[in-house]
Amino acid sequence: MIPLVVNGQEHKVDVSPDMPLLWVLRDVVGLMGTKYGCGMALCGACTVHLDGEAVRACVLPVSAAEGKKVVTIEGLSPRGEHPVQKAWVEHQVPQCGYCQSGMVMAAAALLAKTPKPTDADIDAGVTNICRCGTYARIRAAIHTAAKA
């Protein structure tokens, strides 16, 4: 049994220590907001916070999360009141929406470390891929959230 703290709740999961955190979150814990994209930590659809750091859950073994706090999109703000989530709505960021949970989590982690990011900070800190190409709206939303 591997003990996990996900969105403030304790879980004991009976899985292999090398099982990717993404599949534990989705298939064992039942949180479906974190998405599978590429399976190689390239696209960022699976981004969650591990002790406040944005990490790609598709390649992170669940054993690496033991003793740390995991936050998923469901735990960022259950009512969608996080400044990044509000800015996403204001700027109508999503098109297909598939990458959005990971993108929001990456942006929230960036703002936690860099409260007033420049465009270069955003480019360096949010490396997630959006197949719809809404990068201009993403950048604008992050600047708006930084002002909140």
Q: Which residues of the chain fall short of a pLDDT of 50?
A: none
Q: Determine whether domain 2-76 maps to CATH 3.40.50.970.
A: no
CATH architecture of 83-147: Orthogonal Bundle (1.10)
Query: What pLDDT, on the 0 to 100 scale, is given for residue 78?
Result: 85
Q: Where are the domains of the chain?
A: 2-76, 83-147
Query: What pLDDT, on the 0 to 100 scale, is given for residue 97?
Result: 87
pTM of the model: 0.96
Query: What pLDDT, on the 0 to 100 scale, is given for residue 117?
Result: 98
Please count the other Cβ atoms lying within 10 Å of the Cβ belonging to residue 111.
23
Query: What pLDDT, on the 0 to 100 scale, is given for residue 1?
Result: 94
